[in-house]
Amino acid sequence: MKRLLALVLSAAMFFSLAAGCTPADQTDDGQTSPTADAGGEGGYTIATNNFGVGAYPLDMMVANEQSAADATGMTLTVTNNEFTADKVITQLQNQLAASPDGVAFLGISETLFPVAAQYCKNAKTPYVFYACSPTDEDMEKIEQDEYYVGMVIYSPKNEGSRLAELALADGCKTAVISAGASGDYAHDRRIIGFTETFEAGGGEILFVSHSADPSEAVQKTNDYMTAYGDTDCIYATGEDYITPAADVIKSRGITDCKIYGSNISPSVCQLIMDGQVEACTGGEFVCGSLAVTLLINYLDGNPIKDADGTAPYFDNLTQFMVTAENAEDFYEFLSDENLATHTISDEEYQNLLVRNNPDVDYDYFYDFLTNYEENVYAKVEANAAQ
pLDDT for 197 equals 98
Work out the number of other CB atoms within 10 angstroms of the CB of residue 28: 13
pLDDT for 25 equals 44
pLDDT for 336 equals 95
Considering only CA atoms, which of 265, 289, 294 is closest in space to residue 277?
265
Residue 36 has pLDDT above 60, yes or no: no
Edge to edge, the sheet with strand 320-323 lists 204-210, 174-179, 233-236, 258-262, 279-282, 320-323
pLDDT for 41 equals 54
Reported confidence tier of residue 169, pLDDT bands at 50, 70, 90: very high
**CA angle centred on 241, ends 153 and 289, rounded to 5°:** 25
- In whole angstroms, what is the distance from residue 171 CA to residue 167 CA? 7
Residue 6 has pLDDT above 60, yes or no: no
The stretch 274-297 carries a mean pLDDT of: 98
Q: What is the pLDDT of residues 149-165, one digit of tens each?
A: 999 999 999 999 999 99
The stretch 272-276 carries a mean pLDDT of: 98
Identify the structural domains of the chain with CATH numbers, from first to last.
43-153+282-383 (3.40.50.2300), 155-280 (3.40.50.2300)
- How many alpha carbons fall within 13 Å on the CB side of residue 135? 8
Q: Is residue 362 a contact partner of residue 305, using CB atoms and an 8 Å limit?
A: yes
Residues 127, 262, 365, 137: is their CA dihedral positive or negative? negative
pLDDT for 32 equals 39
Measuring CA to CA, how many Å separate 176 from each of 190, 210, 237, 258? Answer: 13, 11, 11, 10
pLDDT for 121 equals 98
Q: Is residue 53 a contact partner of residue 61, using CB atoms and an 8 Å limit?
A: no
3-state SS record for 208-227 = EEECCCHHHHHHHHHHHHHH
- In whole angstroms, what is the distance from residue 310 CA to residue 148 CA? 10
pLDDT for 358 equals 98
Residue 316 has pLDDT above 90, yes or no: yes
